[in-house]
Amino acid sequence: MVCEFMLIPRRDGAEIDSPLDLLPLPNGPWNGKIAYLDRDGVLNVGSENYINSPDELVILPDTAKSVAALRESGFRVCVVTNQSPIGRGLWSHDNLHEIHNKLRESLLSENTNAHLDLILYSPYAPWEGAWARKPNPGMLEAARQIISASEKNVEIKLKFDNDWDEKSDESNSIMVGDREVDMMAAFNFGVKGIRCDPEVGISDVISEILGD
């Protein structure tokens, strides 16, 4: 059991510290870069009333092309998303998993390289003070450790905050979000934050990321 008192992230479709099967990157071995992506307003159209079912999920234009471009440029891609409806009692983890299945299927149907390596989420309500909930960096901390351990094929042993004393170089990684809490999470983690237009999503900033 890892740090349950800190209210750590949850992982879509698996236990947080279970092995992660990583697909090979399209153009060679991984060099340590991770693209940490918010979900709503980055990959799909957001809503003030939440995305409550797979039917409500609308992928933003050129999202699949942009995710594929990240992986083709050597990035592992991890979604890090606040999902407080679970903590508010509006719906379940299973419902969120169905939404994420639709997200994955929709991206891959447009581009076979638009694979999401990992999806982490914070199910906690804002008043719970969870380390997992952005602007705190818990999801990004977990993502780095899960992906790095899985690349090395070693056991995932998660640590958070001051207990994590072997932090990685994030100078080539990025965090993309459409809100200030995303940029604060990036700052708190020590990774470059890039803010996109929520009406456009990640395609708004993909040229900036890739240096085109």
**197 in catalytic set:** no
Task: Find all residues with CB under 8 Å of 57, minimum gap 6, and list them.
Answer: 44, 51, 99, 102, 103, 106
Which member of 12, 17, 38, 182 is catalytic?
38
**169 in catalytic set:** no
Q: What value does the CA radius of gyration of the chain take, rounded to a whole number of Å?
A: 16
Q: How many helices (H) and strands (E) are present in the chain, helices listed first?
A: 5, 6
HSE-up of residue 128 (Cα within 13 Å, Cβ side): 20
Whether the bond between 26 and the residue before it is cis, its omega within 30 degrees of 0, is: no
Which member of 17, 40, 117, 178 is catalytic?
40
Task: Find all residues with CB under 8 Å of 176, minimum gap 6, and list them.
Answer: 35, 36, 37, 38, 42, 182, 193, 194, 195, 196, 202, 205, 209
Active site residue ranges: 38, 40
